[in-house]
Amino acid sequence: MWKGKSLLLGAGITVAIVIAFICTMSAFDDQALSKTSDQTQKTVMYRADIITFDNMDAFGKLEKPKAVFLHDLHTDALEKKHKDCVTCHMSENGRMSPKFMHLKDIGPEELTKIYCDNCTKCHSETIAAGEKAGPVKCDDCHRQRPLIKSSMVEMGFDKSLHYRHLKAQKDHCEKCHHEYNEKTQKLFYAKGKEGTCRYCHKKGTQSNKMEKVISMRLASHYACIDCHQKTMAMQMNAGPVRCAGCHDATEQSKIEKISHVPRLKRGQPDNVLINTGDPKSRIPQMMRVPFDHKAHEEYNDTCRVCHLASLDACVKCHPLTGSTDKKVITLETAFHKQGHQSSCFGCHESKQQDKRCAGCHAVMAKDGRKDSAACLRCHMVPLPERTGVLSTSKAAKMARLMPQLWKETFGPIYRVQVPKTVVIKNLMDRYGPVEYPHRKVYHAIVNKMQDSKLAQYFHYSETTLCLGCHHHSPVDGNPPKCENCHGAPFDKNHLDRPGIKASYHQQCMGCHQRMGVTKYLSCTSCHKERKKELQVSSK
């Protein structure tokens, strides 16, 4: 029996220990919870001038959470004391470095020392002078859950801003644009080679064999702020130097925009005839595509919308023939890729989401299959000889004249006889007939196209407009009746073909919904309810 007793005692003690352990753990948990709820109670502030010291990331995992630094707050505080940027920033080659009291990110210990010592030194001195100052304790800067969060918006250099700088710098491109000479390890200016900063300055600083290409972030802060400050020092009108000036949403919207920006001079062509193969070859190939480069410059805010990696011709990066190398994107893919803003197809398709276009275009399948007739809108058939523009003419001339002459020859023609009203009465039961104002709707759609060059180009004749409703029909203005295809619902052989009743409702109501025509969405707005005795139930 003694053995049993001792076993029981042992079990009892173990259970007691476990219970005690669980209790203390939950108590700790409670403390942790109450701590977080305390913190969330304090309202989180949003500011655009937050800086986190990301340069420390290069040295691996950090000991403490990143400190949050409010730059504009410090600029203002120093200004009051008649101190300037030099208090914190050193200069290199006559340019102020955006780094804090150092020029190169030497090592983790050194950097920690530079940041912590200098920050706390200034803060404690200010406190000693009886003024308000920032933290002096580690954890007040390195907070697990910072009380201030970033509302920073990215800044970009659009066409308008570029033009304003160009004007201010009196067309001296070399003030900003440069190339890098690997041999001499120096920056130099090359005329006609200018490109977007981001072609070389990527998201992070990149170390190559010879050179070190600094990140876009660092490069823009070096170049922009330094220049703005110098301009300001000359008592001239200059761009922002404070964080919020560029990165605050409201401040950003205040930046002056020029509505009509003159064309950039970078030696780009007005019109391009895009080859689909060797033009001299006798092997059959797709028709060449005339492309209006000049017009497309106006539609976009920056060159890099289309020119992703360089300002060279598309074919330089996207070859005409495919390769086993997965990285190679053919010209065909680059131009026809769906859902990509940089491809012709992707960008044009995104325009179809406009309220004015979505009524018809949203119904159309997005499975990448296109009617082969649509190919010819871009891959244009050479002009007839009588026009004087021969297929042997210069490419630029052809590219310029082909669309123009074809338009003059063939369109746009809107001459189809559209019936004034169509009465839909074969489905009458609960509701009476629908008097569909066919011509009115047609003209409304034509009107919606008027200010869109894109829509007018692709809807070169009215028959293309008819296809919005009269889908899968010949493009000759004589469409079949809806009932020819749509009959009873749930046809096994045509699973996705709605019955006649649903066809009307899906087509009309779907279009009204997508185009924002809210007036005709209820049942009785199109057909009146019939008297009970007239209703013949199909059941």
Partner 1 sequence: MTISRRKFLGWLGAAGMSTAFGKSAAAATHEHFTGYPNSFAILHDITLCVGCRTCEDACNKVNHLPPPDKPFTDLAVLDKHRRTTTKAYTVVNKYENKGPSKGPVFYKKQCNHCLEPACASACFVRALTKTSTGAVIYDSSVCVGCRYCMIACPFEIPTYEYDQVLTPRIQKCTMCYPRIIKGQLPGCVEACPMEALSFGKRKEMIKLARMRFQKHPDRYVDHIYGEHEMGGSSWLYISGTPFKDLGMREDLGVTPAPQLTAGALSSVPVIAGLWPALLAGIYAVSKRKEKIARTEKEQAVAAAMDKKGAATTQTEEES
* Pure H helices in 204-341: 216-220, 226-233, 243-247, 249-253, 293-299, 314-317, 331-336
According to the 3-state scheme, what is the secondary structure of 374-406?
HHHHHCCCCCCHHHCCCCCCCHHHHHHHHHHHH
**209 vs 539, which CB is nearer to partner 1?**
539
User: Where in 392-431 is the site for partner 1 (CB under 8 A)?
Assistant: none
Task: Give the CA dihedral 232, 238, 239, 240, nearest 10 degrees.
Answer: 30
Please say whether the dihedral angle defined by the alpha carbons of residues 240, 241, 246 and 248, taken in this order, is positive or negative: negative
* Residue 521 touching partner 1 (CB under 8 A): yes
* Residue 509 touching partner 1 (CB under 8 A): yes
* Residue 366 touching partner 1 (CB under 8 A): yes
**29 vs 371, which CB is nearer to partner 1?**
371
Q: Judging by beta carbons within 10 Å of its beta carbon (0-12, 13-18, 19+), is residue 511 exposed, middle or buried?
A: buried
* Residue 1 touching partner 1 (CB under 8 A): no
* Residue 487 touching partner 1 (CB under 8 A): no
Task: State how far the alpha carbon of 229 is from the alpha carbons of 84, 85, 160, in Å.
Answer: 11, 10, 21
Beta bridge partners of 206: 213
* Selected binder of partner 1 within 1, 128, 236, 365 (CB under 8 A): 365
Amino acid in position 410: F
**121 vs 370, which CB is nearer to partner 1?**
370
DSSP-assigned letter for residue 224: I
Using the rule CB under 8 A, give the single segment among 101-109, 238-246, 442-450, 501-509 that binds partner 1. Answer: 501-509
Q: How far is the CB of 376 from partner 1 (least distance, A)?
A: 24
Q: How far is the CB of 393 from partner 1 (least distance, A)?
A: 42
CB 330 within 8 A of CB 321: yes
CB 156 within 8 A of CB 54: no
* Selected binder of partner 1 within 523, 528, 535, 536 (CB under 8 A): 523
* Residue 120 touching partner 1 (CB under 8 A): no
Helix (H, G, I), strand (E, B) or coil at 529: strand
Q: How far is the CB of 369 from partner 1 (least distance, A)?
A: 10
Residue from 303, 325, 306, 328 nearest 317 by CA: 328
CB 309 within 8 A of CB 317: yes
Q: How far is the CB of 486 from partner 1 (least distance, A)?
A: 10
Q: How far is the CB of 500 from partner 1 (least distance, A)?
A: 10
**325 vs 533, which CB is nearer to partner 1?**
533
Using the rule CB under 8 A, give the single segment among 75-83, 103-111, 303-311, 498-506 that binds partner 1. Answer: 498-506
* Residue 490 touching partner 1 (CB under 8 A): yes
* Pure H helices in 261-354: 293-299, 314-317, 331-336, 344-351
Q: How far is the CB of 498 from partner 1 (least distance, A)?
A: 5
Residue from 430, 466, 417 nearest 445 by CA: 466
User: How far is the first Cα of the chain from the last one, in angstroms, to the nearest whole number?
Assistant: 85
**144 vs 506, which CB is nearer to partner 1?**
506
**393 vs 513, which CB is nearer to partner 1?**
513
Q: How far is the CB of 366 from partner 1 (least distance, A)?
A: 6
* Residue 128 touching partner 1 (CB under 8 A): no
* Selected binder of partner 1 within 396, 501, 517, 530 (CB under 8 A): 501
* Residue 492 touching partner 1 (CB under 8 A): yes
Using the rule CB under 8 A, give the single segment among 25-33, 84-92, 360-368, 376-384 that binds partner 1. Answer: 360-368
Helix (H, G, I), strand (E, B) or coil at 186: strand
CB 66 within 8 A of CB 142: yes
Using the rule CB under 8 A, give the single segment among 22-30, 70-78, 230-238, 487-495 that binds partner 1. Answer: 487-495
Q: How far is the CB of 530 from partner 1 (least distance, A)?
A: 14
* Selected binder of partner 1 within 506, 525, 534, 536 (CB under 8 A): 506
Using the rule CB under 8 A, give the single segment among 161-169, 182-190, 257-265, 490-498 that binds partner 1. Answer: 490-498
Contacts of 179 (CB under 8 A, 6+ apart): 187, 188, 189, 190, 193
Q: What does the per-residue mask of binding to partner 1 show for 446-485, with x meaning CB under 8 A?
A: ----------------------------------------
Q: Which residue has the tokens 């006649």?
A: 500
Task: Give the CA dihedral 307, 308, 309, 313, nearest 10 degrees.
Answer: -30
Q: How far is the CB of 149 from partner 1 (least distance, A)?
A: 25
According to the 3-state scheme, what is the secondary structure of 137-171?
CHHHHCCCCCCEEECCCCCCCCHHHHHHHHHHCCC
* Residue 533 touching partner 1 (CB under 8 A): no
Residues that bind partner 1 (CB under 8 A): 365-367, 489-490, 492, 495-496, 498-499, 501-502, 505-506, 509, 513-514, 521, 523, 538-539
